[in-house]
Copies of this chain bind each other. A is one copy, B any other.
Amino acid sequence: MKSPDTTTLLELYNVPKAEPLTVENLGESGLLARILPRLKAFDPLLGPGDDAALIAAPGGKFVISVDTLVENQDFRLCWPSGFCSSGFDIGWKSAAQNLSDINAMGAHASSAVISLTLPPTTPVAWVEDFADGFSTAVRELGAIRCAIGGGDLGRGGELSVTAAVTGDLATEKPVLRSGAEPGEVVAVNGVLGVAAAGLALLDSPLTYVEWSEEESALVLGQRRPRPPLAAGPAAARAGATAMMDLSDGLLKDAQRMAMASGVAFDLDTAELSLDLERLKRTSERLQIDPLNWVLGGGEDHGLLATFPQSTQLPVGFRVIGRVKAIEVGVMGPAIYLDGKKPDVAKGYDHFAA
């Protein structure tokens, strides 16, 4: 039955009842007014709201990185499993991915600026949820000195999110990819293969209501990765000789580091047994070799680092291999698994067909 008093008011003011408010309805300044309060984190010296934000760089230098997530390439709004990612998930993922690059330099994040490209029909609630996810990740992952300096809003045919993040080094010099030396240990910090297993579940025809609690946790690792943000600066202070974040898969990223350093890595797969064990039940259910996820899966955003053999490793790092010299005149792979050449170069290339 109609409720005459409220219906009349709605009709009088011509309020559409069931349609969500979209960014097209609200316009740019209205949208900014809604999301900026949700991006509150550590205050920048100035911003947002002017042409640029002003950020402190107490060391007289800073590191900077940029990363983009594109709908249907780097995430899906709804997945073959029927599960739908929220704006909060995408905001979290964008923050985590960018903060991880700063972590990998041995730095603490000092600022983030965000550029959002939105189809005009995007619900305003999605954008608010995105902003909440971004700022919650900054806070929960422990980037407590990271100011959100504002950004840019624009229209596009597909949803796309770019963030640039800056950071202050924990030590005088950043830890590069190119510093690994023969005789050192290869170590990782964080989970391996969880985000890839989560992706396999999201992409599986198995519907999300059938996921076990364990499987939902793997999917959460894909939706909201947790880069170990204290570990990058700690590794730098402990004397890590090379470091990078694990975004494209252990094999591919280790190969990049070994090649940048002019060395080879020999990884010990026995050291990955706990990572494989964690994925065992899901891999059996999906009939996928969990080694694919552990060696080839990206997006966990843990850290790969090398340390001198005598170094007491900082909390959370575990040894998974050794750095070897390349013999002069011998063509060989940059990565060995248990002393042997791996049969497939696993890892992610953005443009591979």
Smallest CB separation, A73 vs chain B (Å) = 5
Interface check A171, CB cutoff 8 A: no
Smallest CB separation, A321 vs chain B (Å) = 20
Query: Are the C-beta atoms of B176 and A50 separated by less than 8 Å?
Result: yes
Contact digits for A50-91, partner B, Cβ 8 Å, 1 yes 0 no: 111111111111111111101011100000000000000000
Interface check A45, CB cutoff 8 A: yes
Interface check A31, CB cutoff 8 A: yes
Query: Are the C-beta atoms of B28 and A162 separated by less than 8 Å?
Result: no
Which residue from chain B places its CB closest to the CB of A73 in the assembled complex?
B155
Interface check A292, CB cutoff 8 A: no
Which of A112-120, A133-141, A187-195 contacts the other chain?
A112-120
Distance A174 CA – B73 CA, assembled complex (angstroms) = 39
Query: Are the C-beta atoms of B177 and A50 separated by less than 8 Å?
Result: yes
Chain B neighbourhood of A51, CB < 8 A: 65, 100-102, 104-105, 177, 244-245
Distance A176 CA – B61 CA, assembled complex (angstroms) = 23
Distance A61 CA – B50 CA, assembled complex (angstroms) = 16
Interface check A111, CB cutoff 8 A: yes
Q: Which of B61, B67, B101, B155 contacts A45 (CB 8 A)?
A: B61
Query: Are the C-beta atoms of A167 and B351 separated by less than 8 Å?
Result: no
Q: Which of B49, B52, B58, B177 contacts A64 (CB 8 A)?
A: B52
Q: Which of B49, B60, B117 contacts A57 (CB 8 A)?
A: B60
Query: Are the C-beta atoms of B45 and A54 separated by less than 8 Å?
Result: no
Interface check A209, CB cutoff 8 A: no
Centre residue among A74, A115, A153, A162 by max chain B CB count within 10 A: A162
Interface check A353, CB cutoff 8 A: yes
Smallest CB separation, A33 vs chain B (Å) = 13
Chain B neighbourhood of A68, CB < 8 A: 115, 117, 152, 154, 160, 162
Interface check A270, CB cutoff 8 A: no
Which residue from chain B places its CB closest to the CB of A116 in the assembled complex?
B68
Closest 10 A/B residue pairs (Cβ) = A164-B164, A57-B57, A52-B65, A52-B63, A51-B104, A162-B162, A66-B113, A70-B156, A51-B101, A68-B115
Q: A55-B61, A164-B164 are in contact. List 10 more A-B contacts (CB 8 A).
A: A27-B349, A50-B176, A51-B177, A52-B101, A57-B61, A60-B60, A62-B166, A155-B351, A158-B158, A162-B162
Can you spell out 21 A-B residue pairs with CB atoms less than 8 angstroms apart? A24-B353, A28-B350, A46-B176, A49-B260, A51-B244, A51-B245, A52-B64, A52-B107, A54-B169, A55-B61, A55-B64, A56-B60, A57-B62, A66-B113, A66-B151, A70-B155, A153-B351, A156-B160, A157-B158, A160-B160, A166-B166
Binding site for B on A (CB under 8 A): 23-24, 26-29, 31, 45-46, 49-68, 70, 72-74, 100-102, 104-105, 107, 111, 113-115, 117-118, 120, 149, 151-158, 160, 162, 164, 166-167, 169, 174, 176-178, 244-245, 260, 349-353
